[in-house]
Structure formats: C-alpha cells, structure tokens
C-alpha cells in the first residue's frame, strides 16, 4: 500500500498527490496515475531510499516531479520506466543504485531533459530504451565514467581527471534532441571501455537505426560480425537471469546486413557454440530458436524487437 500526502499546487491551486513510500515489500513498484480520484504528480524526498526489495519501477505520465534521493541506494533496482512528463528532477534520484541498467522512456513531448537528468545523476553504464514522439524506437547505451582528482601538495593544486567515454557520450544529449551522429562518432572511444559496452552500443544502433548513416551502419555491423561469438554467447548466458533477452537474440539472428549480399551477422561457428551452451544448460526454448536460425542459414528477414 502506498503512503502519500495531498498537496496544493502553488501556481494554480489544484490538489495533487505526492507519494511518500510503500508499506510492504514490493519487487515491481507500479505507481498509479490517480489515488481516490486525485492525480499522482510527485515522488517525495527519500520516498524509497535504501530499499533492497525494489527491482523495477514504473511511473505514470502524470508524474511531474521526482524529488531528491527518491530511489537513492536501492541497490537491487534494475529498471525504471517513465514518461517525459518530468518537469522537475532533483539531485540524487537514482544515486548509488548499483544494479540500475535500463531506463525506458516514452517521449510524448520530445522532452529529452529527463534523459539528461538520469545521465547526470548516474555515472555507471545506462541503456535507454526510447519511444520517440513519432513512434520510432531508439536503443542507446551510454557508457559509464570515473571522475577523480589528485591533490598536488607541493604545487598546491588539485588535478581533475575523467576516465571512460561516458562523459563524452552524455554530451550528445540536450533538452530537445540527441546528436545521433555525434554519438556514432564516439564509438572508437567506447571500444577502449570494454567489449560488453561497445557491443551493446553497436547492437542498439543496428536494431534501431534512428538517423543512422550507411557508413556508421557498416561500422557497427562489421564490429558485431567480428565479435559474433562473444556477443551471442554473452546474451545466451544472460538468458538464465534475464529471459527477456530472448527477443533481442531473435532480432539479431534475423537481422540482415546493409550490404548487397544481405548476410547474417552470425556465422555457423558462433551459432554452434551458442547452441552447445544452451543445450548444456537445458535451455529448451532458446536451443530451439538457435537451431532454427542455424538451419535457416541467413534467416527469413529482420524481426522487430519490442521493448
């Protein structure tokens, strides 16, 4: 059961609800748009701070304000789904949420400020699943970064440094848009951060090619094909704890390259290794999907991956 306070808006005097907590244990926190006929418009300060039970949060499009440290230190929180209805985002909303990896946003207003706010608040890897105002989808991985400083006592100076490509990627987002071309140009920097991050960047861009030029598409496809074995095996391994990855695997298996030959991203060797692993782990459904792809060779065509 939610706990809350009824507030009065200072601008126009309307009443709204500010959520202050939840009384019992809950894994998927699904906040309603209304309670007793009154709109829910805010998540209060420290409302869910420090809770270890919450794994996923879904917020309605009535939410206008996320107050400070609303979900701070929810260490098992993996995913937040919301809308671009947020007008005020206070400091520390998702700070120290070490397991957070996915932010899903429906952009009705084309208001990317909420994307910027999450990126500014969280310095780890974050994957954004965006539904754009025209209905098009985007899947963007933003790498993490480490901000550090060293004190030089002799020179009485402090030297600041940033490690990782995440800060550069974050600069591609402003209030009203995302610089997709600038995002794609940063891929060489992402390669330094490690395979998993760069793999997820490439996967997201080829499956959802919003404003993706042919040369960058070729770059991402070449990278995925070159690392097909490790990519497919990593996704198959994650299936045990993240069964929703199955749809992503299906989409990649049926994807056709941009070249005239329309080749598959994965070779027989990478498929064989994935099939053996799935069979050893007794993943019957996943094994069937992989074997179907192997028998079909290149597959029948790209499959849409729904969020």
Domains in the chain: boundaries: 1-100, 138-226, 228-299
**CA-to-CA distance for 277 and 296, rounded, in angstroms?**
20
pTM for this structure?
0.90
b/e burial code for range 4-17 (CB count within 10 A of at least 16 → b)? beebeeeeeeeebb
Looking at residue 289, its pLDDT comes to: 93
If phi > 0 it is left, if psi is from -120 to 50 it is alpha, else beta; for residue 13 that is left
Looking at residue 169, its pLDDT comes to: 97
**CA-to-CA distance for 115 and 130, rounded, in angstroms?**
9
276 sits in which H/E element: helix 268-280
- For residue 18, count other CB atoms closer than 10 A to its CB: 17
14, 37, 124, 277 from 209: Cα distances, Å: 42, 41, 24, 30
Dump strand ranges (E) for 9-51: 15-22, 28-30, 34-35, 38-43
CATH architecture of the domain covering 1-100? Alpha-Beta Horseshoe (3.80)
Taking a C-beta distance cutoff of 8 angstroms, is the pair 245, 235 a contact? yes
Looking at residue 194, its pLDDT comes to: 76
105 sits in which H/E element: strand 102-106
| Ranges under pLDDT 50 in the chain | 298-305
Tens-digit pLDDT profile for residues 229-273: 999 999 999 998 899 999 999 999 999 998 767 789 998 889 999
Looking at residue 66, its pLDDT comes to: 98
Tens-digit pLDDT profile for residues 193-232: 878 999 999 999 999 999 999 999 999 999 999 999 999 9
Looking at residue 158, its pLDDT comes to: 62
HSE-CB at 102 with a 13 A cutoff on CA atoms is: 18
**CA-to-CA distance for 12 and 285, rounded, in angstroms?**
55
If phi > 0 it is left, if psi is from -120 to 50 it is alpha, else beta; for residue 132 that is beta
């Amino acid at each position: 059961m939610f706990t809350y306070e009824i507030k009065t808006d200072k601008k126009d005097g309307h009443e709204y609800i500010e959520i202050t907590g939840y009384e019992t244990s809950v894994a998927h926190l699904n906040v309603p748009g209304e309670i007793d006929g009154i709109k829910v418009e805010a998540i209060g300060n420290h409302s869910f701070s420090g809770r270890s039970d919450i794994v996923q949060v879904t917020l309605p499009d009535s939410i206008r304000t996320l107050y400070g440290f609303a979900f701070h230190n929810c260490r098992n929180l993996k995913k937040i789904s919301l809308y671009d209805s947020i007008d005020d985002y206070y400091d520390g909303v998702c700070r120290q949420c070490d397991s957070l990896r996915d932010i899903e946003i429906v952009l009705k207003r084309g208001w990317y400020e909420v994307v910027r706010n999450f990126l500014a608040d969280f310095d780890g890897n974050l994957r954004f699943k965006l539904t754009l105002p025209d209905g098009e989808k985007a899947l963007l991985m933003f790498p993490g970064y480490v901000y550090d400083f060293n004190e030089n006592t002799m020179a009485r100076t402090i030297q600041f440094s940033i490690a990782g490509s995440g800060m550069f990627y974050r600069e591609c987002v402003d209030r009203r848009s995302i610089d997709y071309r600038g995002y794609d140009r940063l891929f060489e920097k992402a390669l330094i951060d490690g395979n998993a991050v760069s793999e997820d960047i490439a996967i997201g861009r080829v499956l959802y090619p919003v404003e993706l030029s042919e040369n960058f598409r070729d770059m991402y496809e070449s990278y995925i094909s070159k690392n097909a074995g490790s990519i497919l095996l990593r996704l198959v391994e994650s299936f045990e704890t993240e069964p929703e990855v199955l749809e992503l695997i299906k989409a990649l298996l049926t994807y056709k390259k941009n070249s005239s030959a329309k080749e598959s991203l994965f070779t027989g060797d990478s498929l064989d290794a994935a099939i053996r692993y799935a069979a050893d782990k007794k993943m019957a459904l996943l094994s069937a999907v992989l074997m179907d792809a192997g028998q079909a060779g290149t597959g029948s065509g790209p499959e849409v991956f729904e969020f």
